[in-house]
Amino acid sequence: WLRQFYGNWGDFQEPVISGMDKYITGGGFVEHRMSYFKHIMHEPIILDFNRVQWKAFDGAIAKIKKKQCRFLLVQAPVTKSLYNAVQNNKSIDSLMQTKGRYLNFNLLLNLDDSLHFYDPDHLNQDGVEKFNEKLIHHIKKEFMSD
């Protein structure tokens, strides 16, 4: 980030492999070596939105609507232990539903914390494949049914 901010890229090259992560060139994503999450309990959490970020989000939604583009808001899955620790999930869902078509994949997928995640908020490859399949199904249903 600092290199980008100061325009000091020079001959910098991001390593293709770093620890358990591998950058997939041409795909623009990082693949994490297959691993499994060891279940932990989370303390109760209340999620709050940063006002500046919320204003920017509203502005982006307004631009999308002004251009009359269809869009889908998605909450990606996290472990059940993390999701259940969030005390205001229902109010977040209600708020997001006021912004547009919204899908909470924590409610649409039955993923196993130990089998489909490598940490509380990152899917492993098995989880990614299940999530992608369901997401693609919903995208086709929403946008290709016309």
Instruction: Tell me 86's DSSP state.
Output: B
What confidence score (pLDDT) does residue 42 get? 80
Report yes or no: 124 and 34 within 8 Å, Cβ to Cβ. yes
Residue 137 has pLDDT above 60, yes or no: yes
For residue range 21-52, what is the model confidence (pLDDT) as tens digits?
Answer: 566 566 555 555 555 556 677 889 999 989 99
Phi-psi region of 26 (alpha: psi -120 to 50; beta: other; left: phi over 0): left
Q: Which of 17-31, 35-49, 72-86, 130-144 has the lowest average pLDDT?
A: 17-31
Q: Is the predicted pLDDT of residue 133 greater than 60, yes or no?
A: yes
Residue 138: what pLDDT?
94
Q: Tokens for 21? A: 């992560």
Residues 90-109 pLDDT 10s = 999 999 999 999 999 999 99
- Give me the numbers of helices (H) and strands (E) for the chain, helices first please: 7, 7
Beta bridge partners of 104: 75
State both tokens at 36: 């499994």
